[in-house]
Chain A
C-alpha cells in the first residue's frame, strides 16, 4: 500500500534554532501534501497545504515565515520550523493522497515529535 515516510521521528532543539522535517511519498507521486500539528491529547490541526512547484497555502493563524514549506518534487515536502520556541513543541504529521485523484484517501507519515528546550 501507499507509504508516507517522515523524518526525523523525534528531534530536540534549543530555542532559537531551526528544524527541518521531511515528508516523502515512497511509492507514489503526491502533487499535494498536508502538514498537521497535534498537541498532547488534542486533535490534528491543519497547518498548511503543500503544493508541488508552487507556494504553500497556510491556514488562518499559521505564520508562513515561521513554518517554511518547500515542495520541490512530487515525492518530497519539507517543513522548517524557524527560530523555534518552547511553544512550538508538538507532534507534526504530514499526509499525502495516493492515486493522484481528488478522491484518493490520505496516508499519514509517522509524525515528528519536536521538543524545543
Chain B
C-alpha cells in the first residue's frame, strides 16, 4: 500500500522567514496530495491541495509543489507568522480525495 514519509518532524523558523516541509510517497498511482494544519486537540484543517495534473499551486502565502517523477511534494509557507505555528500533515490518495494516507507530521514553531 501507499507509504508517505514527511520531513522534518520539527521545524523552527523566525517570524517572517519561509518554512518548507517535504513529503515523499511510494505509490505512483496516487493522484491527490492535500496538506492539513492541526492545532493542539483540534481537527485537521485543509490548507491547500494539489492534483497530479498540476506541478504547482499557490494560495497567498502558501504554495505546494509536486514532482511526480520523483514522487515528492512540498509545502512552502512564506512570510511566516506566529499563528502559523501548528502541526502540518501531508497526505496522499489514489482515490481522488478519499482514503488519505498521512505523513508523520511536522511540528512548526514560529519564533517572534
Q: Using a CB–CB distance below 8 Å, which chain A residues touch chain B?
A: 32, 34, 41-46, 49, 91, 93, 97, 101-111, 113
Contacts and interface: CB of A to CB of B under 8 A. Distances in A.
Nearest to A106: B97
Interface in B80-108: 89, 95-105
By secondary structure, the A interface counts as strand
5 contacts: A34-B100, A43-B102, A43-B103, A44-B44, A106-B97
Nearest to B91: A44
B46 interface: yes
Contacts of B101: 46
Interface of B: 32, 34, 36, 41-46, 49, 51, 89, 95-105
A103 B101 CA distance: 15
Nearest to A102: B96
Contacts of B51: 103
B43 A106 contact: no
B99 A34 contact: yes
B97 A111 contact: no
Contact of B99 (A41, A49, A107, A108): A49
B89 A43 contact: yes
A108 B103 contact: no
A44 B101 CA distance: 8
Contacts of A42: 104-105
A28 B72 CA distance: 33
B97 A97 contact: yes
Nearest to B100: A106
A104 B99 CA distance: 12
